[in-house]
Amino acid sequence: MATPQALVIDDSRAMRLILGDLLNQLGYETHEAGDGQQAISLLEEDQTIPTLALVDWNMPVMNGLDFIKAVREKTCYTDMKLLVVTSEAEVGHMVEALTAGADEYLMKPFSSEALASKLEMLGLRHA
């Protein structure tokens, strides 16, 4: 079976490294983007559609919400799970992200167990 792919989208390099490491431990091969537009470009260039994208809310160029809306407009990304990983605690933001097409929402700071639990909820636990 092929290694599941994950895309980590966050403007913080440190957060991309942390999330990438956690996902690697859970059996994922990870790719990184510093903002939503860079992530869209990666998706368009790559032949493999990731199983999962972890999306930050606040980013320059294209924020997480705009990325979610752009991805959900294209049917080829229907099966990709979108997990918003953010420090935005406002309930309105959660509702907005979920309404736009995010599958789940994880608040920063979080534990590796919390991430694993969210993946399990999405049916994506691999390791």
**Choice among 6-10, 66-70, 109-113 with the minimum mean pLDDT:** 109-113
Q: 34-48, pLDDT tens digit by residue?
A: 999 999 999 999 878
* Cα 95 to Cα 21, 54, 88, distances in angstroms: 28, 17, 12
Strands of 81-86's sheet in order across: 29-33, 5-9, 52-55, 81-86, 104-107
Residue showing tokens 């099966």 = 79
Domains of the chain in sequence order: 6-18+28-109 (3.40.50.2300)
pLDDT digits (tens, 9 = 90+) for 11-67: 999 999 999 999 999 999 999 999 999 999 999 998 789 999 999 999 999 999 999
- pLDDT (tens digit per residue) in 92-120: 888 999 999 999 999 888 888 999 999 99
